[in-house]
Amino acid sequence: MHAVAIVAAAGSGSRLGAGLPKALVPLAGRPLVAWSVEALRAGGVAEIVVAVPAAQREAFAVALPGVRLVDGGASRTGSVRACLDAATAQADVVLVHDAARPLTPPELVRRVLSALGDGHPAVVPVLPVVDTTVTVDDAGVITDAPPRAALRRVQTPQGFARAVLSAAYADLPPDADLTDDATVVRAAGVPVLTVPGDERAAKVTVPHDLVLAEATVRTTGERASQGAPATEERNEPGVEPMSQVAR
Ligand code: C5P
């Protein structure tokens, strides 16, 4: 199995308010995207392609020496599409990962790869929803509260048979703007398997997320991104044991 990882790093990160692309925001002195690339490598992925904002290509080249960079699109979907077009022909599976998930443990990467190796065409990591989750109308009034037990939070890396993902992207309109890739293949009728996600793969979106990530690095060192023995079966604060994470 030859895996290529696509890292979506071309977002502006305006919700983080850091004044630079979110992927370049430092966590413990290193850009978020460098952590994410390292997690993929530690999980066993040799080929990595990163979508970056065209205007900041130089800064990304400094942050990611030797890593293949492509100009991202106006949306995440456009950025993934550009990387997919640039991936080498011999890749038979593709992982798509957000640059904004710096502390993704390598074992999560391996879990997704393993399910792909078992023959599943599409695999996404998920976590249970702990808050009651509602839909609202334009006035902010609740319109529905779907039963929580069936809801999941979807993370990355998401894994796909390359042919399946490429065909699903080929079917999308050029201006499609979807928030993840499971949505892209589901639109093409492909069944998507879920595997247990990991709280450490949380996405950095707002300033408080960065505070949490800094605290995690301080308390656990760099183990999460370097493939050292898993901490997941221990009951550490903020780390949900995998045995308790439902699909
Ligand atoms: O905005 P959000 O946090 O959902 O973005 C998820 C990921 O998609 C981020 O890592 C971001 O850099 C990436 N992205 C991208 N190209 C865009 C917009 C977002 O690669 N045009």
Secondary structure (H, E, C), the chain: CCEEEEEECCCCCCCCCCCCCHHHCEECCEEHHHHHHHHHHHCCCCEEEEEECHHHHHHHHHHCCCCEEEECCCCHHHHHHHHHHHCCCCCCEEEEEECCCCCCCHHHHHHHHHHHHCCCCEEEEEEECCCCCCEECCCCCEEECCCHHHCEEECCCEEEEHHHHHHHHHHCCCCCCCCCHHHHHHHCCCCCEEEECCHHHCCCCCHHHHHHHHHHHHHHCCHHHHCCCCCCCCCCCCCCCHHHCCC
The model's pTM is: 0.89
Structure confidence by residue, pLDDT tens digits, 35-68: 999 999 999 998 999 999 999 999 999 999 999 9
pLDDT at 18 over 50: yes
Extract the tokens encoding 221.
Answer: 């060192």
Question: What is the set of domains in the chain, with CATH numbers?
Answer: 3-124+153-244 (3.90.550.10)
Residue with CA closest to ligand 1 atom 3: 205
Per-residue pLDDT tens over the stretch 97-131: 999 999 999 999 999 999 999 999 999 999 999 99
Residue 230 and residue 211: Cα distance in Å, rounded? Answer: 23
- Give the closest residue (by CA) to ligand 1 atom 19: 11
Distance CA 30, CA 53 (A): 18
Q: What are phi and psi of 161, to 5 degrees?
A: -60, 130
Taking the centre of ligand 1 as the mean of its atom positions, its distance from the CA of residue 243, in whole angstroms, is 30
pLDDT of residue 244: 39
| Tokens (6 digits) for 135 | 């839909």
- Amino acid type, 41: R
Closest residue by Cα to atom 5, ligand 1, is 11
CB atoms within 10 A of CB 120: 18
Ligand 1 pocket by C-beta < 6 Å: which residues? 8-11, 22-23, 51, 72-76, 79, 98-100, 179, 203, 205
CA of 29 from ligand 1 middle (Å) equals 21
Structure confidence at residue 222 as a pLDDT band (50, 70, 90): low
Q: How far is the CA of 189 from the centre of ligand 1 (A)?
A: 24
Share of the chain above pLDDT 70, in %: 89
Mean pLDDT of the chain: 89
d(CA 158, ligand 1 centre) in Å: 14
Closest ligand 1 atom number to CA of residue 21: 12
